[in-house]
């Protein structure tokens, strides 16, 4: 599998900030509000700034984050797991929040990476409009392609507010996705140990 490439170049047709704020004002009016009332005067500007934060992952390169590696493994031959990485994303269908936790593991081969980088790539992929399935696969792909480990495993458990606060309104539901490569995919015992370790 190859890492899904993303260009951070600004498209020529990207709207200006003023155009983005005007679009928010249109949505407020469409909802039945008066954008000129006191409480909403600064809302278009605030919402546009919030969008910059929500979707900052479009301007970042996950593979580059993993490019600084270390080769001083000194005989370590087992999985490395970072559990309970909290994230907030937004679904590409309703732009509604996805709030959850990711568990990321890899089995080093010749290169190791700082553990904070594993959390960092979760942030990068979560701060884009996405589906949980794609986000799970993208994290595995970038670790597999960049670090060339013996294997990688990712599990994500998240609340999709597009179905908990709207639509079917199932407030207690959660969605679980997983993706595996290398030894995690081919060895049921290793995969099972990963599953047990993220539960403990």
pLDDT digits 0-9 by tens, 175-191 = 999 999 999 999 999 99
172 is catalytic: no
Q: What is the pLDDT of residue 1?
A: 41
Q: Please report, for the chain, the start and end positions of each structural domain, with discontinuous segments joined by +.
A: 17-54, 69-199
pLDDT in tens, 104-152: 999 999 899 999 999 999 999 999 999 999 999 999 999 999 999 999 9
Domain 69-199 has CATH 2.40.440.10: no
Q: pLDDT digits over 26-44, tens only?
A: 999 999 999 999 999 999 9
- 103 is known as an active-site residue: no
Q: Scanning the structure block, which residue is given the tokens 């996405």? A: 130
90 is catalytic: no
Asked if pLDDT for residue 12 goes beyond 80, the answer is no
Q: Is 48's pLDDT higher than 80?
A: yes
Pairing of strands 151-160, 175-182: antiparallel
Backbone angles phi, psi at 109, to 5 degrees: -110, -80
Query: pTM for this structure?
Result: 0.88
Active-site residue (options: 65, 90, 160, 161)? 160
pLDDT score, position 165: 83
Residue 6 is predicted with a pLDDT of 45
Establish whether 92 is a catalytic residue. Answer: yes
Q: Which of 4, 19, 86, 92 is catalytic?
A: 92
Q: How confident is the model at residue 167 (pLDDT cuts 50, 70, 90)?
A: confident
> Is 160 one of the annotated active-site residues of the chain?
yes
State residue 169's pLDDT score: 84
**Helix intervals (H) in the chain:** 17-30, 43-54, 62-65, 115-126, 132-147, 161-164, 183-186, 188-199
Residues 5, 62: contact at Cβ < 8 Å? no
Compute the distance between CA of residue 41 and CA of residue 25 in angstroms, rounded to an integer.
Answer: 9
With a cut of 70, say whether residue 9 has pLDDT above it: no
Mean pLDDT over each residue of the chain, to the nearest integer: 92
């Amino acid at each position: 599998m190859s890492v899904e490439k993303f260009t951070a170049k600004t498209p020529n047709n990207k709207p200006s900030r003023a155009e983005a704020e005007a679009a928010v004002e249109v949505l407020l009016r469409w909802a039945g509000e008066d954008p000129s009332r006191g409480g909403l005067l600064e809302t278009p500007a605030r919402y546009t700034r919030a969008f910059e934060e929500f979707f900052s992952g479009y301007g970042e390169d996950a593979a580059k984050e993993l490019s600084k590696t270390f080769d001083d493994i000194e005989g370590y031959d087992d999985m490395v797991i970072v559990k309970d990485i909290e994230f907030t994303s937004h679904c590409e269908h309703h732009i509604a929040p996805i709030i959850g936790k990711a568990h990321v593991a890899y089995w080093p081969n010749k290169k190791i990476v700082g553990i904070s980088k594993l959390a960092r790539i979760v942030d990068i992929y979560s701060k884009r409009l996405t589906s949980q399935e794609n986000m799970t696969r993208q994290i595995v792909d970038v670790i597999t392609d960049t670090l060339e480990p013996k294997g990688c495993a990712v599990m994500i458990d998240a609340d999709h507010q597009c179905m908990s606060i709207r639509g079917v309104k199932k407030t207690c539901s959660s969605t679980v996705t997983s993706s595996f490569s290398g030894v995690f995919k081919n060895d049921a015992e290793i995969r099972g140990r990963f599953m047990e370790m993220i539960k403990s």
